[in-house]
Amino acid sequence: MDFKKNLSELLHQQVKELSIEDIMLAIEIPKNAEMGDFAFPCFKLSKTLRKAPNVIAQDLAGGIELPREFEKVEVAGGYLNFFANKAYFAGLVIKEVIEQKQNYGRNTLGKGKNVIVEFSSPNIAKPFHIGHIRTTVIGNSLYKIYDFLGYNTITINHLGDYGTQFGKLIVAFKAWGNEEEVKANPIPSLLKLYVKFHEEAEENPQLEDEGRLWFKKLEEGDDEALRLWQWFRDVSLEEFNRVYKMLNISFDSLAGESFYSDKMPRVVKMMEEKGILQESKGADIVDLEPYGMPPALIRKSDGSTLYITRDLAAAIYRKEAYDFYKNIYVVGSQQNLHFQQWKKILELMGKEWAEDCIHVSFGLVSLEEGTIATRKGRVVFLEDVLKKAIEKTKEIITDKNPDINNLDEIAADVGIGAVVFQELSNNRIKDYTFSWDKVLNFEGETGPYVQYTHARASSVLRRAEGQITDNFDGSKLTDEVSMAVVKLIQQFPEVILDAQRKNEPSIITRHIIDIAQSFNRFYHDHPILVDDEEVKKARLALVYGVKQVIYTGLYLLGIKAPEKM
């Protein structure tokens, strides 16, 4: 049952000035149980109704007929505080989880609406490094959240597989490259060639021209250029796929930048027709000065197109191919200006759906001073981070539990889960510094802690096999510690919706940490498999609820929840 919604409908009958949705958004969950379980603030109504908030609260309290799930309502200042009928509330909430299982928190909100989530989008021939982890895990989690809420989701990896840099790479490979070396060690050797190109080009600027020429050839479909480029792309994807496999991520579409190579002339023409293209030193630009932004370069003087041109073509293609309700881009804050310019141009092109294109930005990852990077250069490869986390997990598990079955699988679930969880713990917009210590710390509010709580609940349930029933007595869960758990479980569906509204998976991360903590308090205070059958049934039901919600929460973050660890 959606308590908040029912309460909102009830309030709406008396406050027609606010819609049910407005009321739902306004209702707060007081931190302190003495202030009730749900609170409705009357401050905003004060203006419209021309009455003091506490007077409004008094009036409302007088007129409300409380349904069974509430035992009383109290006025405290400008707030109406609602107190749940604990036994009834606990019974209802936990029964719902037992009935709905994996579907608890699911919703049909998104039915019939197509949502594109574009994420990860690394550049080929470049390392897949720690800087890509955030887009990859935030995007994957958003995809799962939207999917869970009933949207039709389409995941896209907009690979950086086009642009002048590939002309340069072709030149470098032809001059200094070696096929065997690239085959043996694709990304590092391609990176080396790219670096060498730039070193040499400082001495010999003519190389730059050659690079441009080869990109032009690529755009024109030259055989040799295409063959080399395709090969660079294939070997890069092989590397990326190893990491995606570890993270259990796949994409519906790998339409990267190159996919739009033949779709740009049409877009440029559309811009011409709208009269927004201007010539500047032989190149085509869109003047964005009236909007306080630098001009956007659309087509260079040699006719070749740019990153932003491809993004414009991609948005238009996506609208036509998927008729999206929302088109989400999970890309770091370094590209804020790019996406602002791009969106403005779409608006100027008369695309009224531009407002449905959403840049979900996130903070930068920087490397802690002295971070030991792996292989070549100051680059921390994502694959190495995941592997290290798995190794460390193996050590910890074999120490604690030497004869555990399927160690490899569990170590992968926990080690990788730890890295992903930590990435999704902070507000996405915050910058942060990568440190090995932080990533490999499994104490405190971490993924392994939450997974361990799930395994602990699973083990209790295994011991009580066949005794889980929704026919239990909610009045056995009305003590403060049990109620705290019940309330968090009750809030879970709302938490998922909030995470979706804000495109912020960390809201779920924090909520399941809260659940794990409050469950561990419960577990510490209350023996579960007790003689009193009624108490046992109720407590087991609560354990079941916790296990299910943690499982789903981790699932929505893209993390596995092992039964044992």
Active site residues: 126, 129, 132
**Distance separating alpha carbons of residues 411 and 26, to the nearest angstrom:** 43
DSSP state, residue 243: H
Q: Per CB under 6 A, does 40 bind ligand ARG? A: no
Residue nearest to ligand ARG (CB): 160
Q: Per CB under 6 A, does 329 bind ligand ARG? A: yes
User: Nearest approach, Cβ of 121 to ligand ARG (angstroms)?
Assistant: 4
> Is 147 strand, coil or helix?
helix
- Selection from 220, 314, 216 nearest residue 266 by Cα: 314
Nearer to ligand ARG, 364 or 404 (CB): 364
Nearer to ligand ARG, 156 or 556 (CB): 156
CB atoms within 10 A of CB 206: 9
Give the one residue of 8, 114, 123, 304 binding ligand ARG; rule: CB under 6 A: 123
The residues that bridge with 56 in the sheet, in sequence order, are: none
The residues that bridge with 91 in the sheet, in sequence order, are: none
Using CB under 6 A, which of the segments 49-57, 114-122, 455-463, 555-563 binds ligand ARG? 114-122
How do beta strands 38-41 and 70-76 pair? unpaired
Task: Write out the H or E segment, with its range, that includes residue 349.
Answer: none
User: Nearest approach, Cβ of 311 to ligand ARG (angstroms)?
Assistant: 5
Q: Per CB under 6 A, does 110 bind ligand ARG? A: no
Task: Write out the H or E segment, with its range, that includes residue 134.
Answer: helix 133-148
In this structure, the chain runs to a length of 565
Q: Within 125-164, which residues bind ligand ARG (CB under 6 A)? A: 158, 160
Nearer to ligand ARG, 123 or 309 (CB): 123
List, in order, residues 6 or more apart from 62 with CB less than 8 Å away. Answer: none
Total number of residues binding ligand ARG (CB under 6 A)?
A: 9
Q: Find out whether 120 and 563 touch, Cβ atoms under 8 Å.
A: no
Q: Per CB under 6 A, does 8 bind ligand ARG? A: no
Q: Find out whether 139 and 181 touch, Cβ atoms under 8 Å.
A: no
Q: Per CB under 6 A, does 382 bind ligand ARG? A: no
Q: Per CB under 6 A, does 259 bind ligand ARG? A: no
Q: Per CB under 6 A, does 251 bind ligand ARG? A: no
Site string for ligand ARG, 64-103 (x = CB under 6 A): ----------------------------------------
**Which residue has 């309460």 as its token pair?**
7
User: Nearest approach, Cβ of 337 to ligand ARG (angstroms)?
Assistant: 12
Q: Per CB under 6 A, does 122 bind ligand ARG? A: yes
Nearer to ligand ARG, 329 or 544 (CB): 329
Task: Write out the H or E segment, with its range, that includes residue 163.
Answer: none
Q: Per CB under 6 A, does 233 bind ligand ARG? A: no
User: Nearest approach, Cβ of 331 to ligand ARG (angstroms)?
Assistant: 4
**Angle of CA points 44, 46, 50, to nearest 5°:** 150
For 196, list phi and psi in degrees, rounded to 5: -60, -40
Q: Per CB under 6 A, does 311 bind ligand ARG? A: yes
Using CB under 6 A, which of the segments 116-124, 245-253, 267-275, 488-496 binds ligand ARG? 116-124
Q: Per CB under 6 A, does 327 bind ligand ARG? A: no
Q: Find out whether 110 and 149 touch, Cβ atoms under 8 Å.
A: yes
The residues that bridge with 79 in the sheet, in sequence order, are: 41, 76
Residues that bind ligand ARG (CB under 6 A): 118, 121-123, 158, 160, 311, 329, 331
